[in-house]
Structure formats: structure tokens, C-alpha cells
Amino acid sequence: MDKIAMTNPIVEMDGDEMTRILWSMIKEKLIEPYVELNTEYYDLGLEHRKETNDEATTQAAEAIKKHHVGVKCATITPNEARRQEYNLTTLFKSPNGTIRAILDGTVFRAPIIVKGIEPYVRTWAKPITIARHAYGDVYRAFEMPVGLGKVEVLYTDGFGVEKKELVHEFSEPGVLQVQHNLNPSIQSFAKACFNYALSTKQDLWFSTKDTISKVYDHQFKDIFNDLYEKRYKPLFEKEGISYFYTLIDDAVARVMRSEGGFIWACKNYDGDVMSDMVASAFGSLSMMTSVLVSPDGNFEYEAAHGTVQRHYYKHLAGEETSTNPCATIFAWSGALRKRGELDMIPELIKFAEKLERACVETIEGGKMTGDLAAITTIENPEKKNTEGFLEAIADTLKEIMSE
């Protein structure tokens, strides 16, 4: 069988720890036997980010803007413990946050549905897609500890006119955080959500806390509502779908009682938290797809989980691991499918679909990693170690490719 040729490259961003191990195994066992893989490679492992003073992350994001499709491995966002572990002089920002800010995109995350892995919420019968704004809030915030004294915000407009507001009179030590956002970014977020809802023919929910945040959150609410009323309302009505706004706490209660089958748009931090909640409730963080969609047609696919640090240390100690690679495999399949769509390579699109099918059929056939074996309703599941599960998927994929 001839390998599938690619016309243009995918921007490949390698990562850290156990997911870095999975990354090379997925390429070797599942992709390279069938695809003449064409990638522009960037090492976003923490060691290399340290060597390049994090320039590697910016370069990778700019490459996505050039080639329009990227796929990213999970990476470490260092905290104080990681500073000591990797002897860092700087606590680099989240690579995901940096890339999202440069691309100004919206993150869409949805569960991978497999028979035998049932949602913990018994009413959920359909996938719930989280649409997460990818700019601002705490991820671009200024923070500092403060002592006794006064904190004020000074705004100087383009004409030099100043406006000063008192934040707080500190009579004892405390901490300060200043958030911001940009109207064009909020507008891009809203457009991406409305367009995604139209393309998938799903209802769109949006939630903030505008009753408390009467300016910041209300700005989001107003921008969404204005766009909907002026541009998207007749399009939604034509497709028989709806746009619904509510407070974030009410949205959480409604989601837990719903049957699913809708898109839930959230601000950056809310989306970060709720996507993990939805993923876990559908079975596993490793069973979640994630794609960043920018308004100018760029796509970045990634796994919606971390670097699986605990398994990595076991791997280094020579112990057996049972790490679920599905989210990372689906990141690759998503990037390959989008590359095929943009370059009009139907064979690449079909391969991506078959790769996803191989993952699902392997699990439904009773072979799975430990996280799934612990929750499956399939009788007598066969728990596989990391490499054994990838081999099982490879065997299934070989059968599917020979059909």
C-alpha cells in the first residue's frame, strides 16, 4: 500500500513527560506506516523553552499562522516546584495561553463518545461541547502582593486625559490582580461560537456573572447579544436552533439536568474549569477532543489534559504504565483531517476518520487502558499497558485499512 502524500506541512509541537513518550509512539505505530508525514517541527518541551527563553512557543504560533494547521502535545506550565525541578530562572507562561493569545482563537472541546463508557450524569445522552474564550482574564492578568497602602487604577486615553479610580485601601497586607480583555477578541469569540453552532446545527448557550461583574462580564453579554440580534438570529431560526444566555451558576445547574447536545460558551477561566468537569463526567480527561479555531482560518489541535507526570516518573523508574493516548491520537487525527480538507486530499481525510474509528472500536471490543477499565460497563475488559493498547489500536487500524 502506497503511503498517503501530503502537500503542505502540519506544525508539530512536541511536549513534555509521558505525553512526549506517547507522541513518538503514536507517530511510529499509527501514522507513519500509512502517511508520508510532512510536519514543521517545534520542540516545546520545557527544557527547550528554557534554552530559547520561550521563543520556541512564539515561533510555533507564528508558524501556525503561516501553515494554518498545527497539532500540539501536552506541555508543562511551570510552578514553583517545577522551577526547582528544572532549575528555571523564569516561570514561563502557559504555552497554550501564549499560542491562544497570538492566534486569538476559541477553544472547542467535546467528549469522545464510546459505547461502554457511560457518562456519570445519567441524563446526558449527547455530547456537550465547551467553547472557551482563549484570551485575557486571569491568563493575561497582572498580579502582585501588596502591603499597607492604597491601590488605584489610572487610565490615560489617547488624548492624554486621565481617569483614576480607587481599588482598595489596604489596612493589612494582601494581594492584587488586574484583568483585562479586548472587544475585538470578544467579538471574534462570539462569531466563532455562532458559526460553530450553525455548522454543527446545535443550540448555543452562553454564561457569565454579569449581575456581579456589571461592566466586565456585562461587556461579554452585550457583545454576544448585539451580534446575535443583528446578524445571527435569522440564521439560527432558519436552522431551527437557539441562542440562550444565563448566569454561570444557573448554567451549571441546567447542564447537570440536561440531555446534552449543545455548545456551552464560557469565558476563559470558566471554560478551563468546565471543560475538565464535562470531560471527567463523560468518563475521562483522556477522552476529550480540543481544537483552537482562529477567526482568520487557523486551527490548532491538542489533547485536553496535562503531561501525565505521575505515569512519567513510573516510566523513568522502569515500571509499567497504562496511559490513555486517545486525546492525543484525536489531536493528530483532527489535524490530519483539517490538512486534508484545506489541501483537498480525500485520502488523508478518510485516514483520519479510520484512525479515530480504530480507537473507538478497540475500546468497544474490550481492550482499554486502566482509567477506562475502572469505569466501563463492558464485561471483563482487558486492561492494557501503554504500549499494549497502542499495539491493539494498530492491529484494529490495520484491519480497517485493508477493508
Tell me the pLDDT tens digit for each residue of 303-362. 988 999 999 999 999 999 999 999 999 999 999 999 999 999 999 999 999 999 999 999
Question: Rounded mean pLDDT of 203-232?
Answer: 97
The SS3 of residue 154 is strand
The fold of 1-117+284-403 is Isopropylmalate Dehydrogenase (3.40.718)
pTM of the model: 0.87
Rg of the chain in Å (alpha carbons):
22
Q: What is the pLDDT of residues 171-202, one digit of tens each?
A: 999 999 999 999 999 999 999 999 999 989 99
pLDDT tens for residues 236-290?
999 999 999 999 999 999 999 999 999 999 999 999 999 989 988 998 888 999 9
Please compute the mean of the pLDDT values over residues 213-227 and round it to a whole number.
98
Supply the DSSP symbol for 115: T
Task: Encode 332-352: b = buried (16+ Cβ within 10 Å), e = exposed.
Answer: bbbbbbbbbeeeebeebbebb
pLDDT at residue 15, as a whole number? 96
Contacts of 213 (CB under 8 A, 6+ apart): none
The whole-angstrom separation of Cα 308 and Cα 78 is 14
The torsion angle over the Cα atoms of residues 84, 87, 93 and 97, rounded to 10 degrees, is -90
* Interatomic CA distance for residues 320 and 151, integer angstroms: 53
User: Which long-range CB contacts under 8 A does 349-352 form with residues at least 24 apart?
Assistant: 351/4, 351/34, 351/35, 351/401
Helix (H) or strand (E) holding 245: strand 243-247
